[in-house]
Amino acid sequence: MALRNLSKLKIHKFGIRQFSKEANLVSVAVNDKTGVATLNLQRPPVNSLNLEILSEISSTLTDLEKNKTRGLILTSKNEGIFSAGLDIMEMYKPDVERMKKFWTTLQDTWIKLYSCSFPSVALINGHAPAGGCLLALSCEYRVMFKNCTIGLNETQLGIVAPQWFISSMRNVIGQRQTESALTQGRMFKTEEALSIGMIDEVVENNEEGVARAAAFLKRFERIPPMARAMTKKYIRKETIENMVKNREEDLKNFVTYGTQPAVQEYLGAYLQSLKKKSKA
Ligand SMILES: CCCCCCCCCCC/C=C/C(=O)SCCNC(=O)CCNC(=O)[C@H](O)C(C)(C)COP(=O)(O)OP(=O)(O)OC[C@H]1O[C@@H](n2cnc3c(N)ncnc32)[C@H](O)[C@@H]1OP(=O)(O)O
């Protein structure tokens, strides 16, 4: 595994363009033999997704696409937490210009991850609420540690998961399970998530997780990449087009509703409850 600076390194090996990247809030390591890139989220303490980490994920996905990576494993450097979801501080008492940039960057990141041409696996090595769950659902396969939780819990915070969050879940677990899960803002334990098909495999530790993720990616070794990519594109087309068509309106809704006093109150109370918990 190489961990180097993308801007400094672009070489060909085994017929695959190899590269890796080291940045602040994410790091990328590319396996020289397989061409598989591992993208680590590394924003302590809980990988909450603020503007800066989303920008890094987004630009990394662009680089991976350009460099024709053979597969992606999306995971966390912080074992125990995959991602705490969107950084609530981006939504609580926001600066509206930053809030717009934040949401636009989240939209871009989702579009790139959801539509990437290479196969993708989320190695969910910790809790994955809300935006963390969205990242995992956007991948093609999910391998998860025991004793963790995953779900779109937005309603519990007094906010509403946008349509494209909902579609990302519906496309994995179906309409009925999605309606039930989202109206309750339900977080699923690992075994529950497996039983409804939200995740694909359960693993004991990182070594096993990496092996299972690699095994999934290996399934495509003999499938012509273009045929694979076009098939994925056709299958995901409607979901992506709906989001792209409505992204201006989605941004407007986020700012208009997100800044409503009642929503701000919910977010403030939720933040307080998180802080109290961490001080207890
Ligand atoms: C009516 C119409 C309304 C429309 C509104 C507009 C539409 C908006 C749509 C937005 C969609 C939102 C998506 C989201 O992702 S919202 C975020 C949801 N995330 C969560 O609920 C997770 C909260 N966190 C946790 O449950 C736990 O922190 C976790 C299990 C992840 C880890 O637990 P652990 O015990 O290890 O860590 P702590 O809880 O002690 O946390 C450590 C510190 O980190 C802070 N923290 C945690 N999560 C977040 C977060 N998401 N954003 C910001 N900060 C976070 C926590 O407060 C601790 O901070 P301190 O050390 O300062 O106390």
Q: Does the annotation mark 90 as catalytic? A: no
Please tell me the predicted confidence (pLDDT) of residue 6.
Answer: 44
Whether 14 has a pLDDT exceeding 90, the answer reads: no
State the Cα–Cα distance between residues 102 and 71, nearest whole angstrom: 27
CA 219/CA 137 separation, integer angstroms: 19
Q: What is the pLDDT of residues 241-255, one digit of tens each?
A: 999 999 999 999 999
| pLDDT tens profile 215-232 | 999 999 999 999 999 999
Record the pTM. Answer: 0.94
**Distance in angstroms (rounded) separating the CA atoms of residues 121 and 210:** 10
Residues framing ligand 1 (Cβ under 6 A): 45-46, 48, 81, 84-89, 127, 129-131, 153-154, 157, 159-162, 254, 257-258, 263, 274-275, 277-278
If 0-12 CB within 10 Å is exposed, 13-18 middle and 19+ buried, where does residue 11 land? exposed
Specify whether 151 is catalytic.
Answer: no
The pLDDT of residue 188: 98
**Could you give the ipTM of this predicted complex?**
0.97
Q: What is the pLDDT of residue 48?
A: 98
Q: Given this model, what pLDDT does residue 79 score?
A: 83
Per-residue pLDDT reduced to its tens digit, 156-185: 999 999 999 999 999 999 999 999 999 999
Q: Write the pLDDT tens digit of every residue in 259-278.
A: 999 999 999 999 999 987 76
110-142: pLDDT as tens digits: 999 999 999 999 999 999 999 999 999 999 999
Atom number, ligand 1, closest to the C-alpha of residue 83: 31
**pLDDT > 60? residue 18:** no
b/e per residue, 96-115, with b = 16+ CB within 10 A? Answer: eeebeebbbbbbbbbbbbbb
CA distance linking residue 228 with residue 218, whole number of Å: 13
User: Closest Cα to atom 31, ligand 1: which residue?
Assistant: 84
Q: Is 3 a residue whose pLDDT tops 90?
A: no
Domain extent listing, the chain: 6-279
Answer whether 50's CB lies under 8 Å from 98's CB: no
Per-residue pLDDT at 279:
72
- Ligand 1: residue whose CA is nearest its atom 29: 84
Tell me how crowded residue 275 is: count the other CB atoms within 10 A of its CB. 10
The structure tokens listed for 115 are: 């539509």
Residue nearest to atom 5 of ligand 1 (CA): 258
| Structure confidence at residue 20 as a pLDDT band (50, 70, 90) | very low
Closest CA to 255 of 162, 118, 175: 162
CATH 2.60.40.1120 is right for the domain spanning 6-279: no
DSSP string, 25-61: SEEEEE-TTT-EEEEEE--TTT--B-HHHHHHHHHHH
What local confidence, expressed as pLDDT, does residue 15 receive?
41
Largest separation between any pair of C-alpha atoms in the chain: 57
Distance CA 136, CA 226 (A): 23
Strand-strand pairing, 16-18 and 11-13: antiparallel
